[in-house]
Chains A and B, each alone.
Chain A
Amino acid sequence: SQTIHQWPATLVQPVGSPLSLECTVEGTSNPNLYWYRQAAGRGLQLLFYSVGIGQISSEVPQNLSASRPQDRQFILSSKKLLLSDSGFYLCAWSIPGDSPLHFGNGTRLTVT
């Protein structure tokens, strides 16, 4: 069966520090991968999605970047965090085509 791992679960970082959140998927090949952010009281905002290794699409201009160095690994990064980067970050995967989206347990990021 397929599983998705996302870590860390919580993170507190000072403004200006770097960020690296990692997500891996097991049990499937060539998944579509996604990073979402959920701010308090707001809906989920798609940040990045990837349909293959090295293929990253950015949805909104922001302080973050994403990379997919391996088929089932998706990394969210920042060189210098802003206060506005605080939020709940969720990684997700799906099989290309008409299939459900499966989420990780999320990372709660607080930038102080």
Chain B
Amino acid sequence: KQEVTQIPAALSVPEGENLVLNCSFTDSAIYNLQWFRQDPGKGLTSLLLIQSSQREQTSGRLNASLDKSSGRSTLYIAASQPGDSATYLCAVTGTASKLTFGTGTRLQVTL
């Protein structure tokens, strides 16, 4: 059974800092990995999707990497802003297009 872990559970950084969020998974037989953002009381917004054959994806200030063999992914956020404050979740897609989610990292970017 796939298990996805995200560390740290919560993180507070001052505005302007670069930061890294971590995601690990136990079964390397995945099709892709996605990073999502969730604002309080809202649904999830897809940020980046990395195919199993890819090593990284970039979108603006976000960069996600994938090391499938070691079961790890990182989400790098450059020059953090208060608007980046949210919970970030990673999810891996296994068989039958089913995703397994981590429990998320709650990020707060302070002024």
Contacts and interface: CB of A to CB of B under 8 A. Distances in A.
Contacts of B89: 43-44
B32 to A, nearest CB: 5
A76 interface: no
A6 B36 CA distance: 19
Nearest to B47: A100
15 contacts: A6-B43, A46-B99, A46-B100, A49-B96, A49-B97, A51-B97, A59-B98, A92-B44, A98-B51, A98-B93, A101-B34, A103-B46, A104-B43, A105-B42, A108-B41
B76 interface: no
Contacts of A98: 31-32, 49, 51, 93
Given A43-B104, A57-B96, A94-B97, A101 B41 contact: no
A38 to B, nearest CB: 9
Interface in A89-105: 90, 92, 94, 96-105
Interface residues of B, number: 25
B16 to A, nearest CB: 29
B25 interface: no
Interface of B: 4, 31-32, 34, 36, 41-46, 49, 51, 89, 91, 93, 96-104
Contacts of A92: 44
Interface of A: 6, 32, 34, 42-44, 46, 49, 51, 57, 59, 90, 92, 94, 96-106, 108
Nearest to A36: B101
